[in-house]
Amino acid sequence: MSESLAAPIRNPLSIALWSAVTLIGVFAMFTLATSRGEAVNAMWLVTAAICVYLIAFRFYSLFIANRVLGLDPDRPTPAHRRNDGLDYVPTDKYILFGHHFAAIAGAGPLIGPVLAAQMGYLPGTLWLLTGVVFAGAVQDFVVLFISTRRDGRSLGDLIKTEMGPLPGLVAMVGILAIMVILLAVLALIVVKALADSPWGTFTVFATLPTAVLMGLYGRYIRPGRVFEMSAIGFVLLIAGIAYGRTVAETPALASLFSFKGEALAFMLIAYGFVASVLPVWLLLAPRDYLSTFLKIGTIASLAIGIFVVMPELKMPAVSRFIDGTGPVFAGSVFPFLFITIACGAVSGFHALVSSGTTPKMIGDETQIRFIGYGAMLMESFVAVMALVSASVLDPGVYFALNSAPAVSARPPIRPHRPSPPGALRSRPRR
Amino acid sequence: MLSRTGGAPTLAVGMAKILSSAIGGQGMMAFWYHFAILFEALFILTTVDAGTRVARFMIQDLVGTFAPRFRHTRALIPNLASTALAVGGWGWFLYAGVADPLGGINTLWPLFGIANQMLAAIALTLCTVVLFRMKRQRYAIVVAAPASWLYICTLTAGLEKIFHPDAKIGFLAHAARFSAAAAEGRLLAPAKTAAEMSRIMFNDYVNITVCAIFIALVLSMLGFGLVAIRDALRAKSISTRETTDELPHLRAVRA
């Protein structure tokens, strides 16, 4: 449909190319959906995802850009009209893509698919792909467009001007309440991952002095040398991980860095307060550089890892937990799959970024398509890789890791074992 | 490594498995696991402190509507007060989640998903309204369809989280099961003391309240959206408020 409405394809080479992409994608999807019993290689999943993204970007996003929104390359963007060298700066589209991607790619795309893997890899994959093409990327794209045409104002502000003062007020209160829950849950994930793990705790703690050191280096010792600063940070980061092993293996040190969840929660709360009050250059900005490099580096190495190793998916396509009795989260596919996988498919949090710093840096309206729609496809790809990572684990290991003590078999707490994941091939647990 | 819930350790184990088969083999598995954990923690911490800042500005903006002096982002007292309010808000839920004998994630992740998807529904409602006001409603389905799907999903999920008869899903049923047991003086796993029993029930009621607030919120935004669309349809011309593009000749051609 979009094909005929958007720019028509005339070049036969292009027709051949896009037909090939479509064929490969359909074949990969078919392999994923129809194989039962035998293990499927993760490459099929990755291939299907990439084909879907390419087709969606080439055709659907072009249709939205030309027909639905009417992007106008001649219209000056706020970055040009209000260029102040500080917030409003016309920025190279690839750099801005990186900035926008780093801002939207939080923990969500990583965690949701992992939890949803209890239903098998197929339901999660289908929702990730349809969700991002028709909902998530469209939302990021259109909100970015709306905000760019209105001086880069924020979501609450936009609702106020377009829908009225009362809806604006309700939306602002709502956005705040939603943010509170989002932050609490994200922080909870960190606490759960670090509790009683001296190695992990030490490594994360080590990033704080590293970031402060980087901040001081960038401001006083060699100002403006962002690359040098990041290189130092990266070396210290890896050293921190390596030394963490020593910490974990030395009982005296290990006890210093082993905390219960409650204690970690209070530390995080204190950290959140301090980080928000401190000047940005000292802790936040250097840490942002560091984590942006780390994000892109890790995602790239994971992608390369998947392509080199080509692991097999151990999870079945559809497990019996689609009936809602899963141990990781309870509830049936509809509606709970669609809220469990949030960020890789569609995420409201992105609307805040798309109406935050990004619209103030767009140099040309037509780039909104690449940045708004494209970065979200990229994020969805990260979610697909997270799904692959969870699905290459043996189902036995997966369920042992993910069952709360209340649900899993820990003799002192509960006498009888939970019903074994019967539809899954049971393997020895760790 | 049993029962490390929250998703992050699972992902780290999966990533470690893939990366160690590429580089380092079994011996590097522990290194890659902690590399992955660090990576996830940095991801999250960046979001947490950026989010805290955003929440702080929102609080200053909101309170500023009533007390304009609160708006000055450089003033010390409003700054500290709003930061404390923002951190206190998420900190409270964080602590409740950590102390929750049920493991926290099991309970809170659905709320997280509902909240996040509701925000998306609100954003897509704005998009739909703007398309109608631009008189481009011919294409409104592009944003209206995902918005409707998100309304359906989040409202169903929200209502099920409150009212579902299965105690594993519905907070009301869960609280009822625990209060029935408490009345008989029994302890239900995972609670080991009467205090933990009441803590679980209290958490259930907090979650019910949060869910109900979210549902009310998203329903009212849906109502506002429909009203705005009706008004846009009645308007004779483009009613959206874009910043003028300073190119009147172009605009005349296009309109």
List the single best residue of B98, B137, B193, B254 to mutate versus A (max A Cβ within 10 A).
B98
Number of A/B CB contacts below 8 angstroms equals 493
Instruction: Judge: A291–B42 Cβ closer than 8 Å, yes or no.
Output: yes
Name the amino acid, one letter, at A35.
S
Give which of B214, B37, B208, B40 is closest to B120, Cα–Cα. B214
Residues of A in contact with B146 (CB under 8 A): 134-135, 138-139, 346
Taking an 8 Å cut-off on Cβ atoms, the answer to whether A189 and B99 are in contact is: no
- With a cut of 90, say whether residue A238 has pLDDT above it: no
Burial (Cβ within 10 Å: 0-12, 13-18, ≥19) of residue A323: exposed
For the segment B77-83, the average pLDDT, to the nearest whole number, is 85
The least confident of A48-57, A186-195, B242-251 is B242-251
Closest to A388 (Cα-Cα) out of A29, A48, A26, A45: A45
What average pLDDT does chain A have?
83
Greatest mean pLDDT among A61-65, A150-154, A408-412, B2-6 lies in: A61-65
Contact between B58 and A175 (Cβ < 8 Å)? yes
Q: What pLDDT was estimated at residue A416?
A: 31
Q: Are B18 and A301 in contact (CB under 8 A)?
A: no
Look at A17-31, B61-75, B174-188, B216-230 and tell me which has the smallest mean pLDDT.
B61-75
The span from the CA of A399 to the CA of A328, in Å, is 8
Q: Which residue has the higher pLDDT, B96 or A68?
A: A68
The Cα-based distances of A64 to A58, A115, B13, B31 in angstroms read 11, 32, 40, 45
Question: Which of B1, B10, B56, B131 has the highest number of chain A CBs within 10 A, making it the mutation to test binding with A?
Answer: B10
DSSP string for residues in A363-382? SSTTHHIIIIIIHHHHHHHH
Q: How many CA atoms lie within 13 A of A321 on its CB side?
A: 29
Give SS3 for A342: coil
SS3 A105: coil
pLDDT at A425: 36
Query: Does the pLDDT value for residue B17 go beyond 70?
Result: yes
| Structure-block tokens of residue A104 | 């939207």
Cα–Cα distance between A126 and A393 in angstroms, integer?
20
pLDDT, tens digit (0-9, with 9 covering 90-100), for A186-228: 888 888 888 888 888 998 888 888 888 888 887 888 777 777 8
CA A9 to chain centre: 33
| pLDDT confidence band for A254 (50 / 70 / 90) | confident
Query: Rounded mean pLDDT of B26-30?
Result: 78
Which pLDDT belongs to residue A313? 86
Summarize pLDDT for A2-27 with one digit per residue, the tens. Answer: 444 445 557 888 899 999 999 999 99
- Of the ranges A221-230, A242-251, A383-392, B102-111, which one carries the lowest mean pLDDT score? B102-111
Residues 6+ apart with CB under 8 A from A250: none
% of chain A exceeding 90 in pLDDT: 29
Average pLDDT over every residue of A369-392: 92
Q: Is residue A40 classed as helix, strand or coil in its secondary structure?
A: strand
Which DSSP category does A152 fall into?
T
Question: Which range (A64-73, B128-137, B153-162, B193-202) has the least confidence?
Answer: B193-202
Nearest to B44 among A64, A190, A305 (CB): A190
> What is the domain partition of chain A in residue ranges?
2-153+312-402
Q: Is the pLDDT of residue A419 over 50?
A: no
Note the pLDDT tens digit of each residue in B97-124.
888 776 666 677 788 889 999 999 999 9
Interface test with A, best of B20, B26, B79, B90 (most A CBs within 10 A): B90
Q: What is the mean pLDDT of residues B208-233?
A: 94
Q: Give the confidence band of A141 by pLDDT, cuts at 50, 70, 90.
A: very high
User: A125 falls in which pLDDT band (50, 70, 90)?
Assistant: very high
Q: How far apart are CA B9 and CA B15, in angstroms?
A: 10
Report residue A8 as tokens.
């028509």
| Interface membership of A252 toward B (CB under 8 Å) | no
Burial (0-12, 13-18, 19+ Cβ within 10 Å), B220: middle
Q: What is the pLDDT of residue A21?
A: 92
Residue (of A206, A392, A192, A225) closest to A310 by Cα position: A392
Q: In 10 A of CB A196, how many CB atoms?
A: 13
Chain A environment of B41 (Cβ under 8 Å): 190, 193-194, 200, 204
Distant-in-sequence, close-in-space partners of B159: CB < 8 Å, separation ≥ 6? B215
Helix (H, G, I), strand (E, B) or coil at A41: strand
Return the number of other C-beta atoms located less than 10 Å from residue A218's C-beta: 23
Question: Per-domain residue ranges for chain B?
Answer: 42-99, 103-238
State the pLDDT at residue B13: 85
